[in-house]
Chains A and B, each alone.
Chain A
Amino acid sequence: MTATMLPASDLRSVLRGLPGVDKVGVEARAAALGTRSIKTTAKAAAIDLAIRMVDLTTLEGADTPGKVRALAAKALRPDPADPNCPSVGAVCVYPAMVPYVYEVLKGSGVHLASVATAFPSGQAPLDVKLADTRDAVAAGADEIDMVISRGSFLAGDYSAVFDEIVAVKEAAGPAHLKVILETGELGTYDNVRRASWLAMLAGADFIKTSTGKVPVAATLPVTLVMLEAVRDFRAQTGRQVGVKPAGGIRTTKDAVKYLVLINETAGDDWLSPDWFRFGASSLLNDLLMQRTKLTTGHYAGPDYFTVD
């Protein structure tokens, strides 16, 4: 999918013409959906789906080939004790780590995502960002998680953000492009909706909340606004875009709340790892722990789940 080309003034009027988001209302709605009670069979199905949606992530300065190989192995077989446990959706690492992960994942069906474009700040010249992207794809990444320039967005220079996404999309070639809005820095739900549309118009395959590197990461109301955006965007353009909340989702209970949001907002078509992912690291072990509880009837201690 290529970008929908618009002159800069039209882009501004499209984004400013989107319906506003009432803060009190959207937070109340997200909180209400958060009270859904998901038990027994529904919980079991939700846990397996959530596992398949995990982008198992490590984005640390201390990442090493050994660390990311171990993570990739865990992505393939999250629960060594149970062969029926599904693999995760993808492994997400820095570009320098992509080759090591690729060796483990190739041919497995588990995707390999790499952050790029001077993650997490996005504060680098465009040619550096594009080179970053190309290198990651060349090394085997089939998904690219880029960051937008929040500075340009907040300055009102929507076309700069748009052009950058278009350029990165082109550099990413066949790889799926996830566009990180860094919603914790956008300040308002109106901005979250505008940034979502901006990214989608520019060709994003996924819109993603956060880098996980700023204090406020994914929240239910932000994700709700983004799910409404992808739902409305498909209704208007026919193109489906995925959503990825990332950062701060640590428990099964949290993950299930997000699945409820999808179920009651965007609907069935997004209840799939192709269209929804969790950017998370510690979430997986809690999902595994709850899964084991449901299958065996008792909780196993944390030592029964791998720490990779």
Chain B
Amino acid sequence: MSLFEYAPAPESRSIVDIAPSYGLFIDGEFAAAKNAFKTVNPATEEVLSEVAVADAEDVDRAVAAARRAFESWSALPGAERAKYLFRIARIIQERSRELAVLESLDNGKPIKESRDVDLPLVAAHFFYYAGWADKLSYAGYGTTPLGVAAQVIPWNFPLMMLAWKIAPALATGNTVVLKPAETTPLTALFFADICRQAELPPGVVNIITGAGETGRLLVEHPDVNKVAFTGSTEVGRQIAQSVAGTRKRLSLELGGKAANIVFDDAPIDQAVEGIVNGIFFNQGHVCCAGSRLLVQESISDSFVEALKRRMATLRVGDPLDKNTDIGAINSAAQLARISDLSEIGSAEGAERWSPPCDLPTSGYWFAPTIFTGVTQAHRIAREEIFGPVLSVLTFRTPAEAIEKANNTPYGLSAGIWSEKGSLILAVADKLRAGVIWANTFNKFDPTSPFGGYKESGYGREGGRHGLEAYLA
């Protein structure tokens, strides 16, 4: 019991009005479907709503609607398309509190993150690409849109991933059919309402819901020109196979097992913050999470001690409480995967530690966890856990740090912590990862391209580079 206990400070959920059921958003209208599934609040297991499952016929209708809309949408002057995107961005800002609460309800992430990170970035992404719409001829990738984009997004940043997909596609004159993840469909469905509010022409954005089968039908549909997927490497591989031999363009943003490298001259207190942010932000459900801490052996004991002390102050609990640092695990299936890999970590001989913390009795929860004494041979050092679990490894020299950091099938992101600028530049030059942060981590900006090496995928999202994926 601390001397200074924070009283509960819950954000009100009354700002969100969730309907008991949602259909598919096709051609500007919500349409009923034959089957439905339930989406739950992972913090309580309460059913939030029933959502339609799109079957082959529905996918056909959605793609056809996007195809019809493409002709006039792509013919609009860029400045006109920009007006819609700016309008969408402003409506997102106006409705940001509502969307933030909804995101936390459906996803389980803490409200302080959906409020202060997700929603501002979502709006910024639309603003950013709105600005490009009438300047495509200066971007260097041509001005010809591809056509209909099939977009499949994950559950970790539902609305932000939607923005990353839809904003550049629309700015470049494409139309889209987007499928949100089955555990987090609600903010995408609210976004459909925003499209109507912005008077976006029908068919330009279509949102279809469902699970893996719906996603497969969508990406394999013969009339889509472009497939954009963010999710697991396993599914990404299947998509790459199905797209192979077709004329579809493909961009994949897949898994990661990022190294966060702490040198002995690092700004220690800020490095500890960066490690915590790197792995516990969004419950570790982050493809670019810094899930491997590589700390120089000469400071590893004191650094791990400082890390544990900091972890003991993390507040795990109600995602809607404004003081919550770590929310709920998104689904039972994900919780099982995290638990299984953690068991394996212990069984393989790594030392497991979590701070004392009371987890809620209902819902899906996992305490922030670190493993020390991890080696490159441990599965927890090689496989993406996608949860609040950090593996701590040590190194002796910069060369060894680089070697270990690169010794993974993934290559999405990495972090370097040092007060020595020359060391940062030299190490960054040798790391094979798409994004390298120095003395910070998990910093996102719409102007900055994001994407991976190796099994982390290909193509870039964000920045000028993000336009390339949607232009011929």
A214 to B220, CA, bound (A): 67
B18 within 8 A of A: no
Q: What are the residues of chain A within 8 A of B273 when measuring CB–CB?
A: 25, 28-29
Asked if A171 lies at the interface with its beta carbon under 8 angstroms from chain B, I say no
Are B112's CB and A25's CB within 8 A? no
Return the CB mask of A249-268 against B: 1 if under 8 Å, else 0: 00000000001101110001
Mark the stretch among A38-46, A51-59, A201-209 that contacts chain B: A38-46
CB 8 Å contact bits of A208-227 with B (1 = contact, 0 = none): 00000000000000000000
Q: Is A160 an interface position by the 8 A CB rule?
A: no
Chain A, range 25-81, C-beta contacts under 8 Å to B = 25-26, 28-29, 35-43, 45-46, 49
Is B266 among interface residues, defined by CB-CB distance under 8 A?
yes
Interfacial chain A residues near B313, Cβ < 8 Å: 264
Q: Does B400 sit within 8 A of A, measured CB to CB?
A: no
Interface residue stretch chosen among B4-12, B125-133, B178-186: B4-12
Check B266 against A42 for contact (C-beta < 8 Å).
no
| Assembled-state Cα–Cα distance A301/B447 (Å) | 49
**B residues less than 8 Å from A37 (CB atoms):** 6, 9, 322-323
Query: Chain A residue with minimal CB distance to B310?
Result: A264
B7, A40: Cβ atoms under 8 Å?
yes
Interface size on B, residues (CB 8 A): 24
User: A49 vs B3: C-alpha distance in the bound complex, in angstroms?
Assistant: 10
Interface secondary structure of B, over-half rule: loop
Known: A24-B440, A25-B274, A37-B322. A263 touches B4 (CB 8 A): yes
Known contacts A29-B273, A37-B322, A37-B323; decide if A21 and B4 are in contact (CB<8 Å).
Answer: no
Contact partners of A36 in chain B: CB under 8 A: 6, 322-323
Query: Does B439 interact with chain A (Cβ within 8 Å)?
Result: yes
Minimum distance in angstroms from A137 CB to a CB of chain B: 32
B376 part of interface (Cβ distance < 8 Å): no
Query: Is B270's CB within 8 Å of the partner chain A?
Result: yes
- A263 close to B9 (CB less than 8 A): no
Q: How far is the CB of B377 from chain A (nearest CB, A)?
A: 31
- Taken together as a complex, chains A and B put the C-alpha atoms of A40 and B323 apart, in Å, by 14
Counting CB contacts under 8 A, is A173 at the interface?
A: no
B residues in contact with A22, CB < 8 Å = 267, 270, 419, 439
Alpha-carbon distance A264/B312, docked complex (angstroms): 9
Are the CB atoms of A42 and B6 closer together than 8 Å?
yes
Shortest CB–CB separation between residue A197 and chain B, in angstroms?
A: 14
Please judge, given known A-B contacts A20-B419, A22-B439, A24-B439, whether A268 and B7 are in contact too, CB under 8 Å. Answer: no
CB nearest neighbor in B for A44: B7
Could you say which residues of chain A place their CB within 8 Å of the CB of B7?
Answer: 38-43
Query: Distance (Å) between the CB of A169 and the closest chain B CB?
Result: 28
CB-CB under 8 A from B348, the residues of chain A are: none
Is A107 among interface residues, defined by CB-CB distance under 8 A? Answer: no
Determine how close the nearest CB of chain A comes to the CB of B238; give it in whole angstroms. 39
Which chain B residues in 439-455 approach chain A with CB under 8 Å? 439-440
Question: Contacts of A228 on B, CB cut-off 8 Å?
Answer: 269
Residues of A within 8 A of B3 (CB): 263, 268, 271
- A residues at B contact (CB < 8 Å): 19-22, 24-26, 28-29, 35-43, 45-46, 49, 228, 259-260, 262-264, 268, 271
Task: Jot down 28 A-B pairs with beta carbons below 8 A, ordered by A.
Answer: A19-B267, A19-B269, A20-B267, A21-B267, A21-B269, A22-B419, A22-B439, A25-B267, A25-B274, A25-B439, A25-B440, A26-B270, A28-B273, A29-B269, A29-B273, A35-B116, A38-B9, A39-B7, A41-B5, A41-B7, A42-B5, A42-B7, A43-B7, A45-B5, A46-B4, A259-B4, A262-B4, A271-B3
Chain B interface residues (CB < 8 Å from chain A): 2-9, 112, 116, 265-270, 273-274, 313, 322-323, 419, 439-440
